């Protein structure tokens, strides 16, 4: 197993704001409640076993929900609420459909287990690049205090979010958590 993935898995937590207590899925549901009437495509990065994918899929605002994660052997898996998890090809997520972009991207307890600031930049850039440029899109993410595998502060991660979202006139609002362990909703404007 890749050392970086092993370290991420080792620092993953199984108690606290995870599973049914996770803040990001609750805040994502509240966002979806505001967007009811839309038919959105949603991506959950770090979806674990996909427990939230089916919940997102049942929401009136969601057309289809996808999830992706990395297993203990370092293999990437992707699935939607209609499929079993399946390996991806060459590190690229293969959805089996021609969906290239998403309207809502979520990451719950993912940024905190990245190795360093560069890993966080890459992940945020990838997440924001996954958001459709043709309309307003959303990234919902958190930065829990524990466990934190990197030396970044929540202020530094917030700066990264603003920097990576600058071309889309990002608006970032803390919707939950604390100053040290925030949950943010990033609203990205369409690219003109």
For residue 21, what is the domain's CATH number? 3.40.50.150
Domain count, the chain: 1
Q: Is 117 exposed, middle or buried (0-12, 13-18, 19+ CB in 10 A)?
A: middle
Torsion of CA 30, 31, 36, 41, to 10 degrees: -120
Question: Is residue 38 very low, low, confident or very high in pLDDT (cuts 50, 70, 90)?
Answer: confident
pTM of the shown model: 0.84
Give the number of C-alpha atoms closer than 13 A to the C-alpha of residue 121, restricted to the C-beta side. 8
Q: What is the DSSP string of the chain?
A: --HHHHHHHHH--SSSS-GGG-HHHHHHHHHHHHTBTB-EEEEEET-TT-HHHHHHHHSTTEEEEEEEEE-TTS-EEEEETTS--EEPBTTB---SS----BSEEEESS-GGGSSSHHHHHHHHHHHHHTB-TTS-EEEEEE--SSS--S---HHHHHHHHHHHHGGGT-EEEEEEE-SSSEEEEEEEPPP-
Instruction: Provide the residue range defining the domain that includes 117.
Output: 3-188
pLDDT digits (tens, 9 = 90+) for 8-21: 445 444 444 556 77
What does the pLDDT look like over 100-147, one tens digit per residue?
789 999 999 999 999 999 999 999 999 999 899 988 999 999 999 888
């Amino acid at each position: 197993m890749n050392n970086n993935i092993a370290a991420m898995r080792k620092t993953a937590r199984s108690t606290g704001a995870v599973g049914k207590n996770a803040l990001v899925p609750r805040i994502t549901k509240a966002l979806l409640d505001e967007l009811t009437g839309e038919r959105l495509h949603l991506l959950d990065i770090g979806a674990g076993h996909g427990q939230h994918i089916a919940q997102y899929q049942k929401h009136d605002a969601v057309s289809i929900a996808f999830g992706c994660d990395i297993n203990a052997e370092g293999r990437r898996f992707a699935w939607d609420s209609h499929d079993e998890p399946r390996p991806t090809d060459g590190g690229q997520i293969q959805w089996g459909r021609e969906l290239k972009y998403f309207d809502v991207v979520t990451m719950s307890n993912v940024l905190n287990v990245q190795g360093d600031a560069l890993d966080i930049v890459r992940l945020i850039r990838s997440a924001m690049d996954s958001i459709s440029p043709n309309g307003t899109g959303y990234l919902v993410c958190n930065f829990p205090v524990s466990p934190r595998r990197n030396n970044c502060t929540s202020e530094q991660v917030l700066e990264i979010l603003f920097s990576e979202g600058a071309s889309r006139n990002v608006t970032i609002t803390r919707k939950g958590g604390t100053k040290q362990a925030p949950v943010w909703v990033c609203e990205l404007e369409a690219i003109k």
